[in-house]
Every structure is written in C-alpha cells, then in structure tokens.
Structure 1
C-alpha cells in the first residue's frame, strides 16, 4: 500500500491492524557522467514500493534529498545539514507514530544517510516511541555483489549502474560508461586515500575527478534485475521478521 495514493478513510483499517511502515530515503547528488542525480532515491523508492506490494505493508513518500556535502563540487548536488536531516526524519517518523505505527524500516540507498538514520533510530527507541532501523540494499547481498563484480565501487559503480539500467534505463547515458570508468577511480578499498592510517579525504572529488568509483563497464540491466530481486527478498523477509516481534522486545533493556 502506498500512503500517498490512498484517501484517509481507506487508511483506517491499515492503522487498526498493522503497525509497520517503510520509509524510502535517498539523495539528489552527482553519480558520475552516466547516471542521474536521482539514482539513490530512485533505487530506494523502487525497493520500498515493491516490498509494500509484496508484503502489504505501508510505504510512505520518498525523502529525496539527504546528507551529501561530500559531492558539493559537482553541478546539481543538493544536500541538507546533518542536524536538519536528523530532525526532519525524526519528526516525520513521529508523525507516523501518531497513527499507531511503532516500527519503521528506513529503506535507504545513500551511504551519507546511514549514521544519521542510526542516530534517529536510537533517539526514537530510547524514548520508547518506536523501533526504527536502517536498511541498505547492497549491504543485504554483499556476497553476491562480490561474486558479480570485480570492482563494485561504493559510488556510481557497476552495482548502482546495473540497478538504474534495470529500473530506469532511459536515464542512463550508455555512451558515457567507458568515460565514467576511465575518468573515475576504478580501484577503491580501505587503504585508498589514507596516509599512515588517517583518512585524508573529505569530498568525493579528492579521490575521483568525475565523482565515481569502480568499473561501470561490468554493469547490465540483467545483472541489475538479479540483484534487485535478491535484495528485495531480503527486505521482504526483514518486514515479516520485524512485524512479528513483540514491541517490548524491541525496546531498550533495563539498566543492570
């Protein structure tokens, strides 16, 4: 069920019988010369909407701008400050609690949002308002991604390229994929951008001239479909697991 499509009287039965909601979040930021700036929120919304269709749980509208200051040098990147983002997401989530929702899955597709969503989840849990957790598609199928791609890359690489080729292929600049690989940073790991153990970079452009990491030429719509279905299965299972938990078991333990 997609909340924004429903008239309010038709939502009453859902809130009477269910207490879980999916909240998709992403970003509007550069994803290299070949992918749209909406890459993250397109992916997040696709997962949340499909999971809602598969499970019957509620999906809210998508939060399309996240915490993206590290992409600010590239044209069109939008961002909000971390405190504003956290407060907005917390306020939005609390509004769901007013209707009886007591557990939320943040269906997130932007790495820059992760730590802030975890903080919001902690605030809400500590206040015993609800249990809210963050989920990212690629973290649910890490082994499969490693099997499929030699250099997956954490941003604008073949995994995101494959998903957008599958979900919104008309937005992919196929003629720029080789340029994306050649103008970016193909190899990226925990040692990249570190000096004597210290992380020396703050912005994406410090590491990659065109904003992307990984080898995009490994991407395809067929692989994107495979990865999407595999991660969707994980999300649907998470929905069912979370819905089955007694609320008191999700709340903080008492002090020793």
Structure 2
C-alpha cells in the first residue's frame, strides 16, 4: 500500500489494524558515466514498493536526497548536511507515530545514509517512540552478490548497474560501460588506507570517474535475481518485525 495513493479514510482503516511502515531512502548523486544520478532512490523505492505490494504494509514517499557530500566534485550531485538529514528523518518518523506507527523499516540504498539512519533509530528507540531499523539491500544478500560478480564495487559497480538495467534499463548508458570500468578502480585501492587509517574523504580521491568494480559484468538478468532475492529478504524482515511485541523492542531498563 502506497501512502501517497490513498485517501485519509482508507489510511485510517490501515492504522486501525497495522503499525508498520516502510520508508525508502536513497540519494541523488553521481554514479559514473553510465548510470543516472537517481540510481539509489530508484532502487530503494522499487524495493519498498515491491515489499509493500507483497505484504500489504504501508510504503511512504521516498526520501530522494541523502548524505552525499563525498560525491560533490561530480556535476549534479545533491546532498543535505548530516544533522539536517537526521533531524528530517526523525521528524518524518515522529509524524508516522502520530498516526499510530510504532515500527519502521528504513529501506535504504545509499551507503552514506547508514550511520545517520542508525542514529535516528537510536534516538527513537531511547525515547520508546518507535522501533526504526536501517535495511541496506545488498547487505541482505551478500552471498548472491559475490556469486554473480567477480569484481564488485561499492558504488556504481556491477550490482547497482545490474539493478538499474532490470528496473529502468532505458536509463543505463550501455555504450559507456567500458568507459566506466576503464576509468574507475577496484576498491579498496592500495593507497586508500595507510597503517590502519583511511586516507581519503571523497570518492574522487580514489576514482577519477566516481565508480568502482567491473560494470561490464552486469546484466538485467542478474539484476532481476538481485531484486527478487532482496525483496524476499525485506518481506521476511517486515513480517518478523510486525510479529514482535512492542514491549520487547523498546530500550531495556537499567540493571
């Protein structure tokens, strides 16, 4: 069920019996010469909607701009400062709790959001207002990702390329896949760490074209396998979370 497509009386019926919502979040940032800047939010929204369709749970509108200053050197990248992002998402969830939601799955497709979504979840958890957890699609199916791609990459690589080939193939610049691979790098690079310390802050410090991995290894068929497997994981997570008594989810008392 998509919140934005329902009327308020229809949503009232949902809130009478259900207390879970999916919140898709991504980014609008460079994904190399071959993928659209909306890659992350396209993936997040598609997964959240698919899970909502299969389970009947509520899916909110998508948060399209995330924490992406580390991609700022590339044209068109958009971002909000981390404190602003955290406060916005926290306020969004508090809005949902006003209507009766007490558990939320952040359907996330941008690595830069992870730490901040975890912090938002902690704030809500500590106040016993809601139990909100961050879910990252590729982290739910690591074995399949490794099986499908010999040279994976954390950004603009074959897994994201394959997903967009499956979800929005018309947006993939297939004639630039070789350029993406040749101008990018396999991560981590030899000079990205030194003596146990990360020696970089921005994506461009490691990759001149902003991408990592072998994009030529991606296909729409592989993307479909990734999408179906991740959707199944998300549905199972939602069903598990819905079954938990809320008193078991709130912060434990001091010993």
How far is 1:189 from its partner? 3.2
* Mapped contact 2:189–2:206 kept (Cα < 8 A): no
Which residue in the other structure is 1:197 paired with?
A: 196
Query: For 1:158-169, what aligned pairs fall within 5 Å after superposition?
Result: 158-169=158-169
Separation in structure 2 between the aligned mates of residue 207 and residue 117 of structure 1, nearest angstrom: 25
TM-score (norm 2): 0.99
Query: For 1:2-21, what aligned pairs fall within 5 Å after superposition?
Result: 2-21=2-21
Residues matched between the structures, number: 255
How far is 1:162 from its partner? 0.1
Which residue in the other structure is 2:47 paired with?
A: 47
Separation in structure 2 between the aligned mates of residue 4 and residue 74 of structure 1, nearest angstrom: 32
| Cα deviation digits, residues 220-244 of structure 1 (max 9, x gap) | 0000000100010000000000000
> What secondary structure does 2:77 align onto?
coil
**Which segment drifts farther, 3-12 or 23-32?**
3-12
- Tell me if 1:218 matches 2:217: yes
Separation in structure 1 between the aligned mates of residue 126 and residue 144 of structure 2, nearest angstrom: 35
| Cα deviation digits, residues 176-203 of structure 1 (max 9, x gap) | 0000000011x21386501111111000
- Tell me if 1:255 matches 2:250: no
- Tell me if 1:227 matches 2:226: yes
How far is 1:100 from its partner? 0.3
How far is 1:10 from its partner? 1.1
Which residue in the other structure is 1:79 paired with?
A: 79
Separation in structure 2 between the aligned mates of residue 144 and residue 189 of structure 1, nearest angstrom: 20
When the two chains are superposed, the root-mean-square deviation of aligned CA atoms in Å is 0.8
Where does structure 1 lack aligned partners over 5 or more consecutive residues?
Answer: none
How far is 1:9 from its partner? 1.0
| Cα deviation digits, residues 58-95 of structure 1 (max 9, x gap) | 00000000000000000000000000000000000000
How far is 1:164 from its partner? 0.1
In the TM superposition, structure 1's runs of 4+ consecutive aligned residues that sit over 4 Å from their partners are none
- Tell me if 1:240 matches 2:242: no
C-alpha spacing 1:134/1:180, structure 2 compared with 1 (3 Å): same
> What secondary structure does 1:33 align onto?
coil
Separation in structure 2 between the aligned mates of residue 181 and residue 192 of structure 1, nearest angstrom: 19
| Cα deviation digits, residues 18-59 of structure 1 (max 9, x gap) | 000000000000000000000000000000000000000000
> What secondary structure does 1:104 align onto?
strand
